[in-house]
Amino acid sequence: MTDATFSPDEDVAKAPAKGLTTADGRPLKQALARAQSHARWRAFFLVAPLLAFILLTFVVPIGQMLHRSVYNDGFTLHEDIGSGTQTPLMTNLKTWFKDNPAGTDPDEAAFAALAADLLVLREVKAAGQAGTRINYELSGSRSMFTKAARRAKKLEPPYKEAILDLDEDWGDPMLWRVMRDATSAYTANFYLAAMDRTKDVDGNVVSVNENRQVYVKLFTRTLMLSLLITFLCFLLAYPIAHLLATLPLAKSNLLMILVLLPFWTSLLVRTTSWMVLLQSQGVVNDALVSMGLLGDENRLQMMYNQLGTIIAMTHILLPFMVLPLYSVMRPINPSYVRAARSLGATSWTAFRRIYFPQTVPGIGAGALLVFILAVGYYITPALVGGADGQLISNLIAFHMQKSLNWSLAAALAALLLGGILLLYWLYDRLVGIDNLKLG
C-alpha cells in the first residue's frame, strides 16, 4: 500500500484560513471580523436618527398611554405646580383600609381618618382633585369632597356623626368601596369602565345600568361602520384600479392625477365641502328639488347622521384602496385572461379564476389600510356625523379635552389598539403578511 502524495498547490489550498494574512500583515479572519463590525456600526448610525424618531414619537407615547390607562394618582398624591412639591393624600384612610378587610363597615376610626385627610385636602387645596378621581367611578362625589374639605376645621368628634351631618351619602358603602380602590394609584377599573363594567359593593364585576352603557355600543358602531366603509371603498376602487391598469400608460398617468388630487387638498377642506353638499339646503338636495325628484318639504337628511359619515369617509379613504389595487393589477399579463377565454372559459369564469386571485394581495392590503384608518378617524365623524355618526375616537377626544378623564381615554385607546393588533394578527394567520402588496 503506497502513501498518498499531494502536490504543493493542494497543500496551499488545504492550509488553515488562520494562516492567511492581509497586505499589512494582519490575520485575514481578524480583518474580516473588524470590517463586518465597522459595517454593522455604520448601518446602525445611519438608521439611528430614524430609530430615535420612532421611539420618541411612537413607542414612548404609546407606552405612556398604556401606563396612564392603569395609573391615576389623583386620590393619593398632589403635586404643587408652582413649587414642584408632592404631598401624599388620604394616608390616614389608606392605613385604615389596609388594617380592615374589604367589606368592613366604616366605623368611628374610619371617619376620624377621613376627617384628618379632609384637613390635608383643605390645606393643599386638593379636594377637587381627589373628588374628581372618585367622581370618575361614582358620579356626584366631587361636590361632597369640596364641601367637606371647606368645613374640615369645624369637624369634631364623633366624626362619623359630624361627617354624615354634612352629607348622608358619606355613609354609602359604594363610596367606601370606590375610595378603597382609589387608595392604590394602579387600577384596572378604567378598563372595566371602557367595557361598560363596574364593581359592586362586594367588589364583583357587574354590568353598569343599561342607560349608561355607551362604550360597547360605540365600539360596535365603529367596527360596523369601518367594515361598511371598507367594503364600499373596495366596490368603488376595483373598477377604477382596473381601468387605470389596462389603459395605456399616458392615459392612466393622467387619470392617476385625479386619484391623487385629494391628497393635495386639506382633509378639513374636503370634509367641509361634503357639509356644503349634503346639508338640507345643500347642493344635492337643491338639485333633487329643482329636478322635481323631491318635494321641498321632503329633503333628504344626509348630515349629522351615519349616512353623512359613511359618504364622506368613503370618499376620503377611497385612494387608499385604489393605489394598492393598481399596484397589483398593473403587472398582471393580459394574455392570461385571453388564454383562458381561448380555451373556452367565459368572461366571468376567466375573471373569477384567473384575474381576481392575482389581485387578492392588493385587496387585502387596501382593506387592511382603509379599515385601520377608518376605526381611528376623528375629524370627519366629528363634523358630519352628529350624535348617530360619532365613532369611538370622538369619545376618546371628549375625555381628553372636556371631561379630562385621561385614564379612561387611555383605556379606550388601548382597547382600540388591541383590536387593531388582533386584526393584524388574524390577517397574518389567514392571508400572510408576506402577501401584503402596498405598491
Examine the fold and report which residue of 210, 240, 257 is the final residue of a domain before the chain moves on.
210
Q: Are 312 and 206 part of one and the same domain? A: no
- Residue ranges of the alpha helices (H) in 185-332? 189-194, 215-246, 249-260, 267-278, 283-290, 306-329
Number of domains in the chain: 3
DSSP state, residue 203: S
Q: Are 206 and 219 part of one and the same domain? A: no
Q: How far apart are alpha carbons 167 and 151 in whole angstroms?
A: 12
Q: Does the pLDDT value for residue 6 go beyond 50? A: no
Examine the fold and report which residue of 158, 190, 210 is the final residue of a domain before the chain moves on.
210
Q: Are 63 and 119 part of one and the same domain? A: no
Q: What confidence tens digit (pLDDT) does each residue in 300-352 have? A: 888 889 999 999 999 999 999 999 999 999 999 888 888 998 888 898 999 99
Q: What confidence tens digit (pLDDT) does each residue in 353-372 have? A: 999 999 988 998 899 999 99
Q: Are 53 and 88 part of one and the same domain? A: no
Q: What confidence tens digit (pLDDT) does each residue in 149-187 have? A: 999 999 999 999 999 999 999 999 999 999 999 999 999
Q: What confidence tens digit (pLDDT) does each residue in 22-41 have? A: 777 788 888 888 889 999 99
Give me the pLDDT at residue 8, please.
Answer: 46
**Could you identify the residue written with the cell 372618585?**
134
Residue 73, number of CB atoms within 10 A of its CB: 17
Query: What CATH number does residue 317 fall under?
Result: 1.10.3720.10
Q: Are 123 and 28 part of one and the same domain? A: no
Give me the pLDDT at residue 439, please.
Answer: 53
Examine the fold and report which residue of 210, 244, 265 is the final residue of a domain before the chain moves on.
210
Q: Are 195 and 251 part of one and the same domain? A: no
Q: Are 245 and 157 part of one and the same domain? A: no
Q: Are 170 and 86 part of one and the same domain? A: yes
Give me the pLDDT at residue 1, please.
Answer: 44
Q: Are 286 and 426 part of one and the same domain? A: yes
Give me the pLDDT at residue 31, please.
Answer: 85
Note the Cα 83 to chain centre separation in Å.
35
- Burial of residue 17 (CB within 10 Å: 0-12, 13-18, 19+) is exposed
Q: Are 400 and 419 part of one and the same domain? A: yes
Q: How far apart are alpha carbons 384 and 305 in whole angstroms?
A: 7
Structural domain boundaries, residue 141: 77-210
Q: Are 263 and 341 part of one and the same domain? A: yes
Q: What pTM does this model have? A: 0.86
Average pLDDT over residues 391-404: 92
Helix, strand, or coil (residue 438): coil
Say which residue, 128 or 2, is predicted with more confidence. Answer: 128
Q: Are 160 and 206 part of one and the same domain? A: yes
